[in-house]
Structure 1
């Protein structure tokens, strides 16, 4: 995901934070005289004296699907806490959990729930953690715009296309009226939570086609599908929105992925929640990390909408903040 996408939002929110923190002399005097002690801006403080300036570092890794939300949050957080360094890698959900288990990161982004074997390894390593929901996503199946025949697919057809069966697959194998052209496949890598989710709800545990090009970088998948009319791929909804001029989103069981169908769960079975997992000891020992997680939960809904995902109900973010407060 390109960071320039967030520059406008960063400028707007950053300016809002700055104005809320500083204000004009007149406004500051008025608040001192008439509104002392009253909170005037939800989610941010109102004066420089009230904003505790922190130092330190925060590290994370994980899902490429969640990355656009985190990258946007980090850019804006740097406006509020310029002395806190937040780094967040993109190793895929599985790769991120490996670093989390090894004690290398404070948080781990995930586009699927943590697996039982990952829970067991964290317990063995003595790492307690807390799961937080960030947003909803619709895993989006995409084709080249020149593909005018496979714009709507059923789950059964997706299984026919993506499950390895020992043959070289052609579009005409799926529907005899379609071209007798070989299908080219682009898929997230096996460390990706998106791969795991697709495996669960579409492949049903069967092997993915062996000819698929795998990559943890969703932009590689975008380029592949955009470059050939016989290509098909899948990744998070935000990456499709970033490339609507290059790709066509496939309707699944007659339902188009968009913010409304994803939020209502109508885009089934490819709607899914997105998570961040936080190390409890780091929340207690690292004030900067606690502050960043608080900032994340207060702003994740807005950022999710800004980068192309779907915000949770406000009550779910409030519940997350209460959980976080209990870990302090």
Structure 2
């Protein structure tokens, strides 16, 4: 057998070490809405522990596809896991914990130079986004006679986005029920770019992306379910008035992955250290007891989801914490 040179041995050792490091990477993917939170937590965790975390963005639906194939340890999600995703996870032997991590104020936005926009009701939003509007509702004046007869250019999340699922459920009344003739992307930055360049732009995205781009965008106040005009804000999320567009957002953790010390440490870090980071990236942290409850869920092995695989609108975190998870 041919002897390996010192250089070859060194290269082999490096390759083996690299493979070991690769095996220890904590893999996260999913929602672009939850991404800023998990990215911030991952950065602090890596500084504190020297462990490695990768955080991808493929949308909530895309993230669940990877998660249910066992390709990731954690999935970011801006809506609960659905029945068909649960079935795929079960088929592949993937069991999971559902952990709410923050609240988001799903935000309706227009170009910063829009000087005619007024508060919109859910019915106004439905008129724009329902499937029947496709190819028909094409001007601002069709939303309200007080708006000008100018072209309406729509931007929003793609079909793999949890924001798309939640918005369509809250506004149209059925998840994934939407017109399709709009500029769609699972990346909120793409939506921001479109809206910031188009004076006739109209769309929706996560609150943090609006706050990050306030110089380019204008938030549209909504008429809530009680008939009051409310703007997206931390205060209105906490007091429950920003409805029905206020929602909890989640991470889902693979039970098998939690056997790895680095994943267990990351989840513990997330539940105990994330609150100030969540505020920093402009989301609304949950009450401290909610994070303690999440750790208790893991400790007691309460696997599954409290939603039963169906989208639900308007639940508070207090109501969620009273439910028992089910696979």
Gaps of 5+ in 1: 1-54
Distance 2:118 2:60 in 1: 29
Gaps of 5+ in 2: 1-22, 224-228, 302-327
Instruction: Specify the alignment match of 1:25 in structure 2.
Output: none
Describe the superposition over 1:17-48 as per-residue Cα deviations: whole angstroms up to 9, x where unpaired: xxxxxxxxxxxxxxxxxxxxxxxxxxxxxxxx
Residue correspondence of structure 1 range 219-298 to structure 2 within 5 A: 219-253=189-223, 254-284=229-259, 286-298=260-272
Q: Is the 2:24–2:52 Cα contact (8 Å) retained in structure 1?
A: yes
Instruction: Specify the alignment match of 1:196 in structure 2.
Output: 165
- Per-residue deviation at 1:210? 2.8
Q: Is the 1:151–1:248 Cα contact (8 Å) retained in structure 2?
A: no
Counterpart of 1:278 in 2: which secondary structure?
A: strand
TM-score of the two chains, using structure 1 as the length reference: 0.80
Describe the superposition over 1:49-83 as per-residue Cα deviations: whole angstroms up to 9, x where unpaired: xxxxxx9321111000000001101111111111x
Instruction: Specify the alignment match of 1:148 in structure 2.
Output: 115
Q: Is the 1:140–1:249 Cα contact (8 Å) retained in structure 2?
A: yes
Aligned residues: 272
Residue 81 of structure 1 pairs with residue 55 of structure 2? no
Distance 1:118 1:231 in 2: 33
User: Which of residues 100, 121, 138 in structure 1 aligns to 2:67?
Assistant: 100
Instruction: Specify the alignment match of 1:116 in structure 2.
Output: 83
- Per-residue deviation at 1:229? 1.5
Counterpart of 2:60 in 1: which secondary structure?
A: helix
Residue correspondence of structure 1 range 161-200 to structure 2 within 5 A: 161-164=128-131, 165=133, 166-200=135-169
Instruction: Specify the alignment match of 2:8 in structure 1.
Output: none
Q: Is the 1:225–1:231 Cα contact (8 Å) retained in structure 2?
A: yes
Distance 1:89 1:74 in 2: 12
Distance 2:209 2:215 in 1: 12
Instruction: Specify the alignment match of 1:319 in structure 2.
Output: 293
Distance 1:214 1:73 in 2: 28
Distance 1:71 1:291 in 2: 16
- Per-residue deviation at 1:322? 2.1
Describe the superposition over 1:211-250 as per-residue Cα deviations: whole angstroms up to 9, x where unpaired: 2000111011001111112101111100001011111100
Name segments (4+ residues, structure 1) moved above 6 Å.
none
Distance 1:236 1:157 in 2: 19
Counterpart of 2:53 in 1: which secondary structure?
A: strand
Q: Is the 2:156–2:164 Cα contact (8 Å) retained in structure 1?
A: yes
User: Which of residues 77, 91, 99 in structure 2 aligns to 1:132?
Assistant: 99
- Per-residue deviation at 1:168? 4.7
Name the Cα RMSD after superposition. Answer: 1.6
Distance 1:128 1:207 in 2: 29
Counterpart of 1:153 in 2: which secondary structure?
A: coil
Counterpart of 1:175 in 2: which secondary structure?
A: coil
Instruction: Specify the alignment match of 1:300 in structure 2.
Output: 274
